[in-house]
């Protein structure tokens, strides 16, 4: 009878019949058997063993993977701990003012943790302290490539500072703006200072140089000549009046305060007039300068209008600038002189300083850094960049003498981890160079002596 009861009416039929749970289970089994489904196929012994073996193999593969993963995790933890220890040593050197040693420690730690934004950020600051602005910029950009969130705000500061020192002022200001927007209301004094300085230098570059001129209503010319040292020369009525100016680049429009110097007023004419506030703007592709100062008050104007408003135009310089005699020399000549001075100032091997160096050890290291900074400032960016290019590839030098000094610089940069160790050139290329460009010593030597002298020549040529 259970087979005649539908699935929907089955519980009701059971309840009416007062069946026990055993009877109910039996009825369900009978109904399933009558549903027409085929019973599950029984497995052979061979199939059962195959399935068991497959299961054991999966378990073994997982265990092997898990062991390998745990081992890799342990090694990474050990490596990370060692990297942190080296980084802390670098931080200690940095606090002591030993920036070259600090950058070496950070480089070593980066080899263990190449994806650490903090290490690149730290080394960027150490490079900035050594006037190595290109290297500092590269590290700051790498740090931001790894982590550009607000937690890495220092990298924005390093990048903005490096761009500022490279005279890429608009980029420096833009980088500082990004960081300050991310920082929000909390602000950041370092980024604010860099942005303000970038704006000041950009404004000074546009303001200074050739004089600005305007014809007054009476037809008399008035000229303003702004100098990069903050001095201002005002020519009016055939007289020269010296003054100074202080910029304010945070407002819009930007402003300045002009102060007359006493020697420009004239003896017996009393004290100089009080400082005058001005607002200013650049127009017509920086060929026109708008200046506005109040006439009947000392309040800073908000609009360019009234009697104190002048539109000044650029005036061509009276005489062309004379080129510096040192720039007339070929670049590689200046570069060779610069590299020799660098090699002389920088020992081949950096000193291995203890964790707590003595005053004498610190003084020696600081002296080396100061000499290198002075040389970079003396010879300029163009020469320094050419020296770096030659240090990366001494064989690209146009003369054997330049290749030799470039190779010595490369060795010094490699030991300080400024440059990676160069890859060895194929032996065939060495033989080709040797055959094509023999030195006088090699040309006059016996065949056996040529083979013996070959490594020395290869080093001179910068290919080993």
Query: What share of the chain in percent tops pLDDT 90?
Result: 51
Share of the chain above pLDDT 70, in %: 77
> For position 14, what pLDDT does the model report?
43
List Cα–Cα distances, 118 to 114, 145, 159, 201, 386, in angstroms: 10, 12, 14, 30, 30
Read off the pLDDT of residues 344-401 as tens digits, 9 standing for 90 and up: 999 999 888 888 888 888 888 878 887 888 898 889 889 999 999 999 999 999 999 9
Residue-wise over 58-92: b if at least 16 C-beta within 10 A, else e? eeeeeeeeeeeeeeeeeeeeeeeeebbebbebbeb
Q: What's residue 440's pLDDT?
A: 41
Which long-range contacts does 276-279 make (Cβ < 8 Å, 24+ apart)? 277/301, 279/253, 279/254, 279/255, 279/304
Q: Report d(CA 125, CA 152) in Å as an integer.
A: 13
The whole-number pLDDT of residue 81 equals 84
Question: Mean pLDDT across the stretch 10-38?
Answer: 47
Give strand pairing partners of 215: 221
Residue 147 in 3-state DSSP? coil
What are 83's two structure tokens? 């990297």
When pLDDT is cut at 50, 70 and 90, the band that residue 98 belongs to is: very high
Task: Indicate whether 324 pLDDT > 70.
Answer: no
Helices 447-461, 427-436: crossing angle, 10 deg rounding = 110
The predicted structure's pLDDT at residue 40: 61
pLDDT at 70: 80
Q: What pLDDT is recorded for position 47?
A: 83
Residues 415-461: tens digit of each pLDDT = 988 888 887 755 544 444 444 444 444 344 444 443 333 333 233 23
Q: Which of 44-48, 72-76, 151-155 has the weakest average pLDDT?
A: 72-76
Q: Does residue 218 sit in helix, strand or coil?
A: coil
Compare 252 and 186 and report the one with higher pLDDT: 252
Per the CB < 8 A criterion, the answer to whether 119 and 113 are in contact is yes
Task: Provide the mean pLDDT of the chain.
Answer: 80
Please state, in angstroms and rounded to a whole number, the distance separating the CA atoms of residues 279 and 286.
16
Coil, strand or helix at 273 = coil
Q: Which CA distances in Å does 151 have to 117, 143, 155, 455?
A: 10, 12, 9, 51
Q: Span 226-230, mean pLDDT?
A: 94
Distance, in Å, from the CA atom of 80 to the CA atom of 88, rounded to the nearest integer, reads: 12
Among candidates 283, 310, 282, which has minimal Cα distance to 295?
A: 310
Q: Could you report the per-residue pLDDT of 60-80, keeping only the tens digit for each?
A: 888 888 888 787 777 677 777
Q: Which of 12-21, 93-102, 314-323, 328-337 has the lowest mean pLDDT?
A: 12-21
- Alpha-carbon distance of 44 to 63, in angstroms, equals 29
């Amino acid at each position: 009878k259970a087979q005649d009861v539908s699935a929907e009416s089955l519980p009701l039929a059971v309840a009416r019949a007062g069946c026990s749970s055993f009877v109910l289970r039996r009825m369900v089994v009978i109904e399933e058997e009558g549903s027409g489904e085929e019973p599950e196929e029984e497995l052979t012994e061979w199939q059962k063993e195959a399935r068991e073996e497959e299961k054991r193999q999966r378990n073994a593969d997982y265990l092997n993977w898990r062991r390998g993963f745990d081992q890799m995790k342990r090694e990474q933890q050990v490596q990370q701990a060692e990297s942190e220890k080296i980084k802390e040593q670098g931080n200690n050197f940095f606090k002591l003012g030993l920036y070259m040693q600090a950058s070496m420690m950070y480089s070593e730690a980066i080899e263990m943790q190449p994806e650490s934004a903090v290490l690149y950020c730290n080394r960027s600051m150490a490079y900035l302290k050594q006037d190595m602005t290109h290297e500092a910029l590269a590290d700051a950009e790498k740090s931001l490539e790894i982590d550009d969130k607000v937690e890495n705000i220092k990298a924005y500061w390093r990048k903005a500072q490096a761009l500022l020192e490279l005279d890429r002022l608009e980029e420096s200001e833009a980088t500082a703006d990004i960081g300050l927007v991310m920082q929000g209301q909390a602000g950041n004094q370092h980024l604010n200072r860099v942005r303000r300085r970038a704006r000041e230098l950009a404004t000074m570059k546009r303001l200074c140089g050739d004089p600005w001129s305007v014809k007054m209503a009476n037809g008399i010319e008035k000229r303003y000549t702004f100098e990069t040292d903050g001095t201002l020369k005002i020519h009016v009525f055939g007289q020269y009046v010296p003054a100074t100016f202080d910029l304010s680049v945070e407002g819009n429009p930007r402003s300045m305060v002009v102060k007359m110097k006493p020697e420009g007023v004239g003896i017996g004419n009393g004290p100089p007039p009080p400082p005058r506030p001005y607002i200013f703007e650049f127009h017509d592709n920086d060929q026109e300068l708008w200046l506005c100062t109040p006439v009947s008050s000392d309040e800073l104007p908000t609009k360019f209008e009234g009697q104190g408003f002048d539109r000044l135009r650029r005036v061509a310089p009276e005489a062309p600038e004379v080129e510096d005699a040192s720039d007339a020399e070929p670049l590689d000549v200046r570069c060779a002189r610069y590299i020799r001075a660098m090699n002389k100032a920088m020992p081949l091997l950096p000193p291995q300083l203890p964790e707590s160096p003595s005053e004498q050890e610190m003084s020696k290291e600081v002296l080396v850094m100061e000499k290198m900074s002075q040389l970079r400032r003396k010879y300029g960016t163009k020469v320094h960049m050419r020296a770096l290019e030659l240090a990366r590839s001494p064989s690209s030098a146009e003369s054997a003498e330049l290749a030799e000094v470039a190779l010595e610089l490369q060795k010094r940069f490699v030991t300080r981890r400024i440059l990676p160790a160069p890859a060895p050139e194929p032996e065939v290329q060495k033989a080709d160079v040797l055959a094509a460009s023999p030195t006088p010593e090699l040309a006059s030597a016996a065949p056996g002596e040529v083979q013996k002298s070959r490594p020395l020549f290869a080093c001179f040529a910068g290919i080993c």
